[in-house]
């Protein structure tokens, strides 16, 4: 090994990197929020049976297929360069948010479909026969069970969103990876900078997983293990 490591510039940039890590978290969380809403809509649209709803169903099928069968970076490029052809130019933040939300929605649609299937229809009927309204039955009986079924995949998707947001580096967003690259290109201490970024990513992901576990423990205690 005839290479000297220089960690000092990285340490000096550490506050900037941590600041950027929060951008990463914000982008991931926001894209998850949009992804959950869109994913729920897609999951419902896929199960539409009315002939009039066929276009919505096809849109959902195409969306899910595209989101799951093409690379996330491809999806980002589509929102970045592809839409530019239609005169829609987006900021790096908007590109990453759109790309990640599109991807999250596609994957979460499948997750939610599985989650709703995991709750037998008899549960709804039983709740109604107990005198609950449809709304009550939904919010008190069905949704909590769906939530439990999708909790783990939801956590996984959030971790993925954090990891995928690093693609922002390629479209000029200064989230953790992008900021790291910008800082690294100033001093050419590429290895040192990215090593520190890797550590920060690892810590962020571990904290997220830990947080999700704690929340699951709090939310689902008293339930028999699934």
Partner 1 sequence: MSNTVTYFTGFRGADLLFLAEAAWGTLKLSALSIAVGTALGVGLGWMLAELRATRPILVPLLDVFRSVPLIIQLVLFFNFVPMIGLGLSPFAAGCVVLSAYAAALVAQVARAGIESVGRPLRRAARSLGMSYGQAMRHVVLPMGLRTVFPAWVGIVLGVMKDSSLVSVLGYVELLRASQILITRTQEALFVLGVAGAFYFLLSWPVSWWAARHEKRWQQ
What tokens does 10 get? 């990285």
Please tell me the distance from the alpha carbon of residue 139 to that of residue 145, in angstroms, as a whole number: 10
Angle 75-202-150 from CA coordinates, rounded to 5°: 60
190 forms part of the interface with partner 1 (CB under 8 A): yes
Q: How many CB atoms lie within 10 A of CB 151?
A: 18
Can you list the positions of beta strands (E) in 8-164? Answer: none
155 forms part of the interface with partner 1 (CB under 8 A): no
Measured from the CB atom, the residue of 22 and 191 that comes closer to partner 1 is 191
Piece in contact with partner 1 (CB under 8 A), picked from 15-23, 72-80, 137-145, 218-226: 72-80
22 forms part of the interface with partner 1 (CB under 8 A): no
Least spacing, CB of residue 51 vs partner 1, in Å: 27
Please tell me the distance from the alpha carbon of residue 30 to that of residue 6, in angstroms, as a whole number: 35
Least spacing, CB of residue 174 vs partner 1, in Å: 15
Residues that bind partner 1 (CB under 8 A): 1-3, 66, 69-74, 77-78, 81-86, 159, 163-164, 166-167, 169-170, 177, 180, 190-191, 194-195, 197-198, 201-202, 205-206
């Amino acid at each position: 090994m005839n290479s000297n490591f220089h960690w000092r510039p990285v340490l000096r940039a550490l506050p900037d990197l941590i600041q950027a890590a929060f951008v990463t978290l914000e982008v991931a969380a926001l894209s998850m929020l949009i992804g959950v809403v869109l994913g729920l809509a897609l999951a419902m649209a896929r199960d539409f049976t009315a002939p009039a709803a066929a276009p919505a169903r096809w849109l959902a099928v195409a969306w899910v297929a595209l989101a799951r069968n093409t690379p996330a970076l491809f999806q980002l490029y589509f929102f970045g360069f592809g839409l530019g052809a239609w005169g829609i130019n987006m900021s790096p933040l908007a590109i990453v948010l759109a790309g990640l939300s599109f991807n999250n929605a596609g994957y979460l649609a499948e997750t939610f479909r599985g989650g709703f299937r995991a709750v037998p229809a008899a549960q709804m009927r039983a709740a109604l026969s107990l005198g609950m309204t449809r709304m009550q039955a939904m919010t008190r009986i069905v949704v909590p069970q769906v939530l439990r079924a999708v909790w783990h995949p939801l956590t996984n998707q959030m971790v993925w969103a954090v990891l995928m947001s690093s693609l922002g580096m390629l479209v000029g967003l200064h989230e953790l990876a992008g900021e790291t690259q910008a800082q690294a290109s100033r001093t050419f201490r590429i290895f040192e900078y990215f090593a520190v970024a890797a550590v920060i990513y690892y810590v962020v992901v571990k904290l997220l997983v830990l947080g999700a576990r704690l929340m699951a423990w709090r939310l689902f205690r008293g339930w028999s293990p699934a």
